[in-house]
Structure 1
Amino acid sequence: MSRPRNHWLLPLSVGLALLLGLLPLPASLQPFRPYWLALVVGYWLIEDPDRVGLGFAFAMGLLADLAFGGLLGEQALRLTVMAFILQRFRAQLRFFPLSQQALAIGGLLLNDRVVSAAVHLALGEPQLPWSFWWAPLLGMLLWAPVFLLLDTLRLGRRG
């Protein structure tokens, strides 16, 4: 018996993540903006590796670069690095409890900030203020709700 597949959920979730990333926030809340696209792409990399891989992460990163107007290729690199690490440890991570998955995702989001800082440093671009290092913590806290919501929609379970 095959599981129900909602083919519309992948593009919808990525589109919503991009919209949440574009949502205007007051300057005081900007440092806490979670990297929604990384959370959504991370979910799909763990749960549906047949459809989502390095190429998908790279393409979504390029799309985000165009949408957000940053350095072309920066988010593509960041998402590809995250996707590579997630693919490497997918077998173990998939069976972790959500709390341990959240810690691993928090580490990946922190690594994402390091990659971003390295790119900015290498190109002589201004660095983000230290307050922007809080976003991975918020992303880690949001992992469980994002995971549970997408998993419920993907599997078609009713509460």
Structure 2
Amino acid sequence: MINRQFWLIIVTIFFALVLALMPLPISFEPFRPDWVLLVLMYWSLAVPHRLNIGSAWLTGLVIDLATGSPLGVHSLTYAITIYITASNYQKLRNFSIWQQGLLVAVFLALHHLLQFWLHHFLLEVYFAPQFLWPAATGAICWPWLFLLLRKYRRHFRIR
């Protein structure tokens, strides 16, 4: 039973990875939500004993390899974001979906600012305000993603 639940969580992370790698028109690319991090945040809130910082780090490593970004950038930022989410999951569960969406926006902004800082340190990239658009779109997508994954979790009885 444990292996089945683990694989069901991996399936959702895989679909999020597909959404993250799917090509979009150039005009929509700056607005792409970080689907993988949103799914990881949901699972760290819903079943924190199943998804931990190590899982987030490995998922970030897969994203680094798939996107060609410097190795470890997504891993570190995912691990930090999931650490903050998982360490406060009891508080975050008590908020409404809309309040969670605002906190998710803050966590996504933290993720993107950390990612910018690491890219600036490694690649000399300079800040542009468009860099934070995924935090806003991720917060907008959070309620629907939350409800979809909750229905999935309840249907397959993932505990």
- Normalised to the residue count of structure 2, the TM-score between the two structures is 0.90
Matches within 5 A, 1:74-153: 74-127=73-126, 129-153=128-152
Kindly provide the amino acid, as one letter, of the partner of residue 34 in structure 2: Y
- State the one-letter code of the partner of 1:22: L
Quick one: structure 1 residues 38 and 101, their matched pair in 2 at CA, closer, same or farther if it must change by over 3 Å?
A: same
Match of 1:51 in 2: 50
Query: What code does the residue aligned with 2:140 have?
Result: L
Highest relative contact order (Cα 8 Å, sep 6+), 1 or 2?
1
Distance 1:100 1:86 in 2: 14
Counterpart amino acid of residue 35 in structure 2: W
* Cα distance in structure 1, aligned partners of 2:133 and 2:143: 18
Using the TM superposition, name which of 101-110 and 5-14 deviates more.
5-14
Q: Structure 1 residues 18 and 128, CA, compared in 2 at 3 Å: closer, same or farther?
A: farther
Partner amino acid, structure 2, of 1:101: Q
TM-score scaled by length of structure 1: 0.90
Distance 2:18 2:38 in 1: 14
- For 1:149, the aligned partner's letter is L
Question: Aligned-pair distance for 1:103?
Answer: 0.6
How big is the shift at 1:6?
A: 4.8
Aligned to 2:29: 30
Distance (Å, rounded) in 1 between the aligned partners of 2:92 and 2:10: 24
1:60-116 CA distances to partner (integer Å, 9 max, x unpaired)?
000111111111100001100101111221110011110111011010000011101
Q: Which amino acid aligns with 1:87?
A: A
Separation of aligned partners in 2, 1:58 and 1:129: 26
Contact 1:9–1:153 (8 Å) recurs in 2: no
> Are the aligned partners of 1:46 and 1:86 in contact in 2 as well (CA < 8 Å)?
yes
* Structure 1 residues not aligned, in runs of 5+: none
Shift of the alpha carbon at 1:125? 3.0
What is the root-mean-square deviation in Å for CA atoms of aligned residues?
1.5
Task: Report the secondary structure of 1:51's partner residue.
Answer: coil
The count of residues paired between Structure 1 and Structure 2 equals: 153
Instruction: Tell which deviates more after alignment, 104-113 or 114-123.
Output: 114-123
1:15 maps to a residue whose letter is: F
